């Protein structure tokens, strides 16, 4: 087995990620590369935590004096309810992805919001202000995406989800987050919505490595004016991103957001500006 960090001692502090499943996660690769680079006596591990064990796992963050953890699918919304305190932005989103253990008090944050914003800025430097957006999905990640789009002045956010009630609940909540019009899209309306919006976001697991590859919306409606943001990622470009680029659209997969949310989480745990190039290289080179 390959060592994760240089030296592990009795002082080494533990960071980690709770997910189910979690074996595909690139977060350990990214964070351990950064910790090694900065010479910090910390190590980051992945823990497969079943939903019924989440409360015990969160309690273990205190018991084991872990500095913090990321939480990912399917724990982001449940974990929020187990915190001692929640950052106002995460509270509004209703989901957390980062827990900071402040001497036994657990604080919940959502770095997906800033991670998404930074990723979009990399392909749309003028931002989403005044643009029409379509978000597919209505889970924890979609809530962060919609919060970011509203915060940055999107004109209208349309939400399509396999389970329509969840899309409705998200659109009703998001109507109160800012000036943006938020509404749901039915399956019948989806092709027209795809064709007419400026920005499309896949916030479902469709496209993740080893998972479903069929596109989450009708890709025959994509055109060269679109900006497509796929939250799914694998070590190579996702099928959706390849298809969108093939149609002349600007498209990015979830790796940039993954890096940018990791940068924000790292800062919360260590107080340091993350070595972003080291983080990027760690997944570009597939260090596992
Ligand atoms: P979640 O809370 O479990 O929500 C999943 C969403 O995807 C729900 O809207 C669900 O619809 C939908 N969905 C799941 N399987 C589907 C399928 N086969 N067909 C159509 N819709 C499906 O998960 P999440 O936290 O929002 O995460 C969603 C995705 O974003 C994950 O793949 C995650 O890895 C990715 N993500 C990436 C980053 C990044 O940094 N790149 C950050 C956060 C999340 P229902 O409501 O109908 O179940």
Does the beta carbon of 209 sit less than 6 angstroms from any atom of ligand 1? no
Atom 17 of ligand 1, nearest CA residue: 206
pLDDT the model gives residue 210? 65
pLDDT digits (tens, 9 = 90+) for 155-183: 999 999 999 999 999 999 999 999 999 99
pLDDT value at residue 84: 98
pLDDT at 287: 47
Of 110, 137, 218, best ligand 1 pocket probe by most atoms within 8 Å of the beta carbon: 137
SS3 assignment, position 182: strand
Cβ contact 75:108 at 8 Å: no
Q: What are phi and psi of 11, to 5 degrees?
A: -95, -10
pLDDT band at 285 (very low <50, low <70, confident <90, very high): low
Q: At 134, phi and psi to the nearest 5?
A: -125, 125
For residues 68-82, average pLDDT: 95
3-state SS assignment for residue 121? helix
Q: How confident is the model at residue 3 (pLDDT cuts 50, 70, 90)?
A: very low
- Ligand 1 probe mutation, 170, 205, 207, 239, most atoms within 8 A of CB: 205
Q: Is the CB of 203 under 6 A from ligand 1?
A: yes
**Active-site annotation holds for 76:** yes
Cα separation, 217 vs 191, in Å, equals 8
Q: Which pLDDT does position 2 carry in this prediction?
A: 46
Burial class (CB in 10 A: 0-12, 13-18, 19+), 194: buried
Say how many Å lie between the CA of residue 97 and the centre of ligand 1: 13
CA distance 89 to 147: 9
pLDDT level of residue 147 (50, 70, 90 thresholds)? very high
DSSP reduced 3-state for 152: coil
What pLDDT digit, counting tens, does each position of 100-141 carry? Answer: 999 999 999 999 999 999 999 999 999 999 999 999 999 889
Task: Kindly give the distance from the C-alpha atom of residue 22 to the centroid of ligand 1, in angstroms, as a whole number.
Answer: 14
CA distance 154 to 174: 12
Band (pLDDT 50/70/90 cuts) for residue 209 is: low
What value, to the nearest 5°, has the Cα angle with vertex 220 and ends 218 and 224?
A: 115
- Cα separation, 131 vs 110, in Å, equals 24
- Kindly indicate the confidence band of residue 51, based on its pLDDT and cuts at 50, 70 and 90: very high
Give the Cα separation of 209 and 236 in Å (integer). Answer: 9
Cβ contacts of 46 within 8 Å, gap of 6 or more = 16, 17, 19, 22, 23, 25, 27, 28
Eight-state DSSP code of residue 116: H
Whether the pLDDT of residue 1 is over 50: the answer is: no
Pick the residue whose CA is nearest to atom 39 on ligand 1. Answer: 258
162 lines ligand 1 (CB under 6 A): yes
In angstroms, what is the span from residue 140 Cα to ligand 1's centroid?
Answer: 7
Nearest to 110, CA basis, from 134, 146, 136: 146
Q: Token pair of 177, please?
A: 């987050």
pLDDT bracket for residue 215 (50, 70, 90) = confident
- Above 70 in pLDDT, residue 22? yes
230 vs 53, 62, 77, 125, 278, CA distance in Å? 30, 34, 21, 17, 23
Q: Which of 204, 74, 212 has the alpha carbon at shortest distance from 138?
A: 204
Number of other residues whose CB lies within 10 A of the CB of residue 53: 14
Question: Which atom of ligand 1 sits closest to the CA of residue 212?
Answer: 18
Q: How is residue 174 written in tokens?
A: 């998001």
205 C-alpha to ligand 1 centroid (Å)? 4
The pTM (predicted TM-score) of the whole model is: 0.92
pLDDT tops 80 at residue 213: no
pLDDT for the residue numbered 284: 82
Least confident window among 21-25, 53-57, 223-227, 232-236: 232-236
C-alpha span between 205 and 219 (Å, rounded): 17
């Amino acid at each position: 087995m390959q060592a994760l960090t240089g030296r592990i001692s009795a002082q080494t502090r533990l960071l980690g990620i709770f997910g189910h499943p979690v074996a595909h996660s690139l977060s350990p690769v990214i964070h351990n590369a950064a910790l090694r680079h900065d010479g910090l006596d910390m190590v980051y591990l992945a823990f497969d935590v079943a939903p019924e064990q989440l409360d015990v796992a969160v309690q273990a963050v205190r018991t084991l004096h872990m500095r913090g953890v990321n939480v990912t699918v399917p724990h982001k919304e449940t974990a929020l309810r187990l915190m001692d305190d929640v950052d106002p932005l995460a509270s509004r989103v209703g989901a957390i992805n980062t827990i900071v253990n402040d001497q036994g008090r657990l604080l919940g944050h959502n770095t997906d919001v800033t991670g998404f914003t930074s990723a979009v800025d990399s392909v749309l430097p003028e931002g989403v202000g005044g643009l029409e957006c379509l978000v597919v999905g209505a889970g924890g990640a979609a809530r962060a995406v919609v919060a970011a789009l509203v915060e940055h002045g999107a004109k209208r956010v349309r939400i399509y989800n396999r389970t329509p009630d969840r899309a409705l609940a998200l659109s009703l909540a998001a109507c109160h987050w800012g000036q943006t019009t938020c509404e749901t899209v039915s399956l019948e309306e989806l092709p027209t919505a795809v064709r007419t919006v400026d920005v499309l976001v896949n916030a479902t697991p469709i496209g993740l490595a080893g998972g479903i590859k069929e596109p989450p919306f009708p890709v025959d409606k994509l055109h060269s004016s679109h900006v497509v943001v796929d939250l799914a990622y694998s070590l190579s470009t996702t099928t959706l991103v390849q298809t969108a680029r093939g149609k002349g659209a600007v498209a990015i997969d979830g790796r940039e957001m993954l890096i940018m949310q990791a940068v924000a989480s790292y800062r919360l745990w260590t107080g340091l500006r993350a070595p972003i190039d080291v983080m990027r290289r760690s997944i570009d080179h597939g260090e596992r």
